[in-house]
């Protein structure tokens, strides 16, 4: 192994260690209560070393999200292999279950996700990292869109704009899970998040089906 290759591996390993430490701190304390000092202490690195890799805690926060949602992206992309074996409505229901399982396991990612849609932290993040985070979400949406388009082509769904429908479905699912994120809201609505998510998805699928 050459010197340059070894340095690149060491750099990558250190970056991964920083992200892992940041994930633990952010998921425990949240964005506002976390400092770079906290991350440095968790990673057993100096504060200056953290700044060599990430220019702000907000950039680090979004980087943690991007790495996390890649897991969901991989799961959704795997559904493409089932396009010819299962109906589109069945795949949509499976996506809903995957999305809920991801939310249930990593609820903090949903809070990070919400920050991508307003300018609170954008100015503190490298444009390349910001674009990468949005690209991962777009990949997820494209899988949903492709499945809906398959349903349209097969005559199962009405001829609607698949991309708009995918965004509507994704937005509705995200909204339900964030709205019913705590017991107080669940009591107000009278049902847990999963029950309302199931109902919402079935309602949207019914609206897409051919009459």
- For residue range 72-101, list pLDDT tens digits in order: 888 888 888 888 789 999 999 999 999 999
Could you tell me the residue range of the domain that residue 31 belongs to? 1-53
Helices assigned H by DSSP within 44-120: 47-53, 57-78, 88-105, 107-115
CATH of the domain at 1: 1.10.10.60
Q: Same structural domain for residues 49 and 61?
A: no
Q: What's the chain's average pLDDT? A: 87
pLDDT score at 115? 65
Q: Give the Cα separation of 58 and 122 in Å (integer).
A: 8
Token pair recorded at residue 2: 């050459």
Token pair recorded at residue 203: 């309602």
Q: Same structural domain for residues 110 and 182?
A: yes
Provide the domain count of the chain: 2
Q: Same structural domain for residues 5 and 67?
A: no
Given a cut of 80, whether residue 111 has pLDDT beyond it is no
Q: Same structural domain for residues 47 and 145?
A: no
| Owner of token pair 């493409």 | 80
pLDDT score at 80? 83
Q: Please report, rounded to a whole number, the percentage of residues in the chain having pLDDT higher than 90.
A: 44
Q: Same structural domain for residues 150 and 161?
A: yes
CATH of the domain at 61: 1.10.357.10
How far apart, in Å, are the Cα atoms of 139 and each of 74, 134, 135, 144? 10, 9, 6, 9
pLDDT score at 85? 86
Q: Could you tell me if 110 and 135 are in contact, meaning their C-beta atoms sit under 8 angstroms apart?
A: no
Model confidence band, residue 188 (pLDDT cutoffs 50, 70, 90):
confident
Model confidence band, residue 11 (pLDDT cutoffs 50, 70, 90):
confident
Q: Same structural domain for residues 110 and 166?
A: yes
Between 165 and 183, the more confident residue is: 165
In sequence order, what are the beta bridge partners of 209? Answer: 157
């Amino acid at each position: 192994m050459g010197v340059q290759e070894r340095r690149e591996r060491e750099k990558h390993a250190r970056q991964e260690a920083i992200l892992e430490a940041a994930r633990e701190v952010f998921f425990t304390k949240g964005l506002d209560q976390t400092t770079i000092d906290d991350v440095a202490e968790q990673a057993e690195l100096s504060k200056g070393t953290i700044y060599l890799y990430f220019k702000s805690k907000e950039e680090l926060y979004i980087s943690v999200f991007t790495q996390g949602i890649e897991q969901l992206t991989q799961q959704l992309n795997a559904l493409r292999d089932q396009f010819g074996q299962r109906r589109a409505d069945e795949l949509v229901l499976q996506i809903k279950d995957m999305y809920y399982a991801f939310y249930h396991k990593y609820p903090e990612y949903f809070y990070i996700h919400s920050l991508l849609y307003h300018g609170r932290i954008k100015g503190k993040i490298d444009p390349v990292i910001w674009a990468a985070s949005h690209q991962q979400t777009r990949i997820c949406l494209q899988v949903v869109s492709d499945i809906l388009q398959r349903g349209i082509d097969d005559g199962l769904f009405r001829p609607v704009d698949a991309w708009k429908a995918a965004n509507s479905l994704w937005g509705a699912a995200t909204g339900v899970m964030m709205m019913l994120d705590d017991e107080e809201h669940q009591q107000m609505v009278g049902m847990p998040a999963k029950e309302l998510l199931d109902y919402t998805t079935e309602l949207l699928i019914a609206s897409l089906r051919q009459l």
